[in-house]
């Protein structure tokens, strides 16, 4: 039973709905992918698949923020930016800068949209009753 409970906890941790105050920023990767999906689709569907996946993940994160969706998007854009930064001599400098920003800006915006844990509803609030309002017989308010 412990293994099943641990698996459920892991699934809930990865796929459970989370709070994200800046989730609108998660549209940036989808918009960046939208720029290139048409050109990639001209070749074939396989070429467009990564861009379509980014668009779907961005939209799904805005609708239902999860750690998995955020992690996949953030990891992909940070990795892409790191690869571009690591190879500055690959093409003209202005193109290098453009493609570097194409990875860094969405990654930075995703950082602000990172998921946070939901506060559980129904937490009991502890109410402190002032001494002057307490019942002298029971000591409660």
* pTM metric for this prediction: 0.72
Would 126 be classed as within a structural domain?
no
Would 54 be classed as within a structural domain?
yes
SS3 of 19, please?
Answer: strand
Average pLDDT over residues 106-131: 69
Hey, what are 20's tokens?
A: 């994200």
Would 49 be classed as within a structural domain?
yes
Phi, psi (degrees; rounded to nearest 5) at 106: -60, -35
- Report the candidate in 24, 26, 8 with the shortest Cα–Cα distance to residue 16: 8
Would 14 be classed as within a structural domain?
no
- Cα 10 to chain centroid distance, Å, stands at 17
pLDDT > 90 in the chain, percent: 38
Q: How many CA atoms lie within 13 A of 103 on its CB side?
A: 17
Token pair 């409660």 is found at 140
Structural domain span for residue 30: 19-111
In the predicted structure, residue 120 carries a pLDDT above the cut 70: no
- Cα 9 to chain centroid distance, Å, stands at 19
Would 141 be classed as within a structural domain?
no
Alpha-carbon distance of 45 to 40, in angstroms, equals 8
Would 36 be classed as within a structural domain?
yes
Would 83 be classed as within a structural domain?
yes
In the predicted structure, residue 137 carries a pLDDT above the cut 90: no
Q: How many domains does the chain have?
A: 1
Would 85 be classed as within a structural domain?
yes
pLDDT tens for 83-92 read: 999 988 878 8
pLDDT band at 127 (very low <50, low <70, confident <90, very high): very low
What does the pLDDT read at residue 129?
Answer: 45
Cβ neighbours for 15, distance < 8 A, ≥ 6 positions apart: 66, 67, 68
SS3 of 25, please?
Answer: helix
What does the pLDDT read at residue 125?
Answer: 43
pLDDT tens for 98-117 read: 999 999 999 999 999 888 87
The total number of residues shown for the chain amounts to: 141
Average pLDDT over residues 1-9: 82
């Amino acid at each position: 039973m412990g293994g099943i409970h641990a698996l459920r906890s892991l699934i809930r941790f990865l796929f459970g709905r989370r709070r994200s105050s800046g989730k609108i920023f998660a549209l940036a990767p989808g918009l960046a992918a939208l720029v290139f999906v048409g050109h990639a689709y001209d070749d074939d569907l396989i070429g467009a698949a990564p861009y379509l996946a980014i668009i779907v993940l961005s939209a799904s994160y805005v609708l239902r923020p999860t750690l998995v969706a955020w992690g996949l998007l953030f990891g992909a854009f940070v990795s892409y930016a790191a690869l571009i930064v690591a190879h500055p001599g690959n093409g003209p400098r202005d193109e290098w800068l453009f493609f570097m920003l194409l990875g860094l800006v969405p990654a930075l915006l995703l950082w602000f949209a990172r998921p946070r844990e939901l506060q559980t509803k129904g937490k009991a609030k502890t109410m402190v009753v002032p001494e002057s309002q307490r019942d002298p017989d029971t000591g409660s308010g």
